[in-house]
Amino acid sequence: MLEPLNKALEHIEEHLDGSIDMAELARIAQTSEYHLRRVFSALAGMGLAEYIRRRRLTIAATEVSAGRRPLLDIAVRYGYGSGEAFARAFRALHGVGPSEARRTGAPLSSQPRMSFRLTVEGSSTMRYRIVEKNAFNVVGRKARLPLVHEGMNTELVAFIRGIAPETVQRMEKLSDQEPSGIAGVSADLDASRGEGTEFDYYHAVVTSAEAPADLDQLSVSAGVWAVFESSGPFPLTLQYLWRDVFTQWFPSHPYRSRRGPEIVLTRLRAGGTEADSELWIPVELE
Domain ranges of the chain: 2-104, 128-285
Comparing 88 with 43, which gets the higher pLDDT? Answer: 88
Q: What is the mean pLDDT of residues 188-216?
A: 91
pLDDT over 50 (residue 110): yes
Among 11-20, 156-165, 245-254, 270-279, which is the least confidently predicted range? 245-254
Buried-state track 166-197, b at ≥16 Cβ within 10 A, e below 16: eeeebbeebbeebbeebbbbbbebebbbbeee
Residue ranges of the alpha helices (H) in 31-186?
33-44, 48-66, 71-77, 83-94, 98-104, 154-161, 165-174
Alpha-carbon torsion, ordered 132, 134, 138, 139, to 10 deg: -140
Task: Name the residue among 78, 26, 74 with its Cα closest to residue 56.
Answer: 78
Question: Yes or no: is domain 128-285 CATH 3.30.420.40?
Answer: no
The reported pTM is: 0.74
Query: What amino acid occupies position 9?
Result: L
Question: Which superfamily, per CATH, for 2-104?
Answer: Homeodomain-like (1.10.10.60)
Average per-residue pLDDT in the chain?
A: 90
Contacts of 274 (CB under 8 A, 6+ apart): 231, 232, 233, 234, 268
For 129-185, how does the pLDDT look when each residue is reduced to its tens digit (9 = 90+)?
Answer: 999 999 999 999 999 999 887 778 899 999 999 999 999 999 999 999 999 999 999
Q: Cα 69 vs. chain centroid, distance in angstroms? A: 37
